[in-house]
Structure 1
Amino acid sequence: MLQTATPTRQTEAPKTSRVGKRPVEMPKGVTLTVNGRNVEVKGPKGQLVRELPPTVDVKLEGGRVVVSSSAEGRNGSRLQGLVRALLAGMVKGVADGYERILELKGTGYRVDLKGTTLTFALGYSHPIVFPVPKGLTAAVPAESKGTVLVLTGADKELIGQTAATIRGFRPPEPYGGKGVRYRGERVREKAGKAGGKGGKK
């Protein structure tokens, strides 16, 4: 009886990412520290910490951050590119910060800010109270009369998730566009019943 040899699995060499291998430039006033599997970035706008995947290494060389990955095959390039993008976002966040502007459209729709608590009136029978997450700053410009909310912070993910949560309180309606929207967001509006009768669209 013939015995066939079991094929041995060959280890695939790590692949590099075209974006991931580009160093991240460190602006003046920003510092990066690697402590074990954690990387900490400090700057004028704040401080951010992130845990690195086991197969990814981060080094500071000549004022630039270099990311490498030892994962096999395509996972190496994917993780390298992901971590490089996250670190670039952290560096930009602590150096310049991020901003997200929300607009409230609708009769009586407004937001009030007291301390670190936002209170929304969005056409419901009750107000919506929302505490501003730690690490973010909220502002309601006086000239907007409560219809504009400005969120600023160093953490891109946190500011994006917070803005999405607030938008979810009253997403823009397809008829008339009432609700909470991002500044510059294009909302597709439907014609409504009058549209089929030659009325106002």
Structure 2
Amino acid sequence: MSRIGKQPVRVPDNVKLSIAGNTLNIEGPKGKLRQVVHPDIAIEYNQQNKQILIKRASDEKYHKALHGLTRALIANMITGVTNSFSKNLEIVGLGYNAKVQGKELVLSLGYTHPVHLEIPMGIKVDVTNPTNPAKLTVSGPDKQMVGQFSAVIRGKKPPEPYKGMGIKYEGEVIRRKAGKAFTSGAA
């Protein structure tokens, strides 16, 4: 058995879940999520122990991989609806800033125009410090959406290796390069 897949997923008291066929709906204080599970994977909910057990159809390599993946996705869903996930980003650069206008994130990144990004439904963006270094937090119950939207934001101006300007994750180390060496003398 998969070491991850065979572990039961504990369901807290403040989380409601329903299983309809191969669709799992989870609702908690931070939001609600839905996951369609592969037909070869079975989900069993034990109400007395408040645990979810995941079973697979066979011991094929493909089913073993799906077994662990499904268990990890369900565990992340439960964590997301109870605690929420978040990623912190820093925008470093002179004149670079960020602000939230309605349902859009507006970034000034040194281009001739501001960059407008529509914030996906279920994701919350907080700008704690709007100017250099601008700090923003992307949070929400869906771990995949939080990571994806953070990557989209970072992709608009990745950090460059010479001055370190751009958008980076908080705590990310940028490998710096030395600039051009000045040599004096006639050639």
Aligned match of 1:74: 61
1:45 and 2:30 are equivalent in the alignment: yes
After TM superposition, list the pairs within 5 Å mapping 1:95-106 onto structure 2: 95-106=82-93
Q: Provide structure 2 residue ranges, at least 5 long, that are not aligned to the other structure.
A: none
What TM-score, normalized to structure 1?
0.86
Task: Give the corresponding residue for 1:8.
Answer: none
Residue identity matched to 1:119: V
- Aligned match for 1:137, one of 124, 129, 133: 124
> Aligned partners of 2:63 and 2:116: how far apart in 1?
44
Structure 1 counterpart of 2:150: 163
Aligned to 1:63: 50
> Distance between the aligned counterparts of 1:20 and 1:114, measured in 2?
42
Secondary structure, counterpart of 1:164 in structure 2: helix
For the pair 1:18 / 2:7, whether they are aligned, the reply is no
Alignment of 1:88 onto 2:66: no
Contact between 2:99 and 2:130, CA under 8 Å: does it hold in 1? no
The 5-angstrom pairing of residues 175-186 of structure 1 reads 175-186=162-173
In structure 1, stretches of 5+ residues that fail to align are 1-15
Number of matched pairs: 179
Q: Distance in 2 between matches of 1:39 and 1:158?
A: 18
Residue 140 of structure 1 aligns to a residue whose secondary structure is strand
| Residues 180-199 of structure 1 mapped to structure 2, 5 A cutoff | 180-194=167-181
Q: Going by fraction, where is strand more abundant, 1 or 2?
A: 2
1:21 partner amino acid:
K
Asked whether 1:115 is paired with 2:102, we answer yes
The separation in 2 between residues aligned to 1:71 and 1:63, in whole angstroms, is 26
CA drift of 1:72 comes to 4.2
Could you report, residue by residue, the CA deviation over 1:127-181 in whole angstroms, capped at 9, with x for unpaired residues? 001111000011111xx23411111100000000000000000000011110000
Which residue identity lines up with residue 40 of structure 1 in the other structure? Answer: N
Question: Is 1:116–1:138's contact at 8 Å kept on the other side of the alignment?
Answer: no
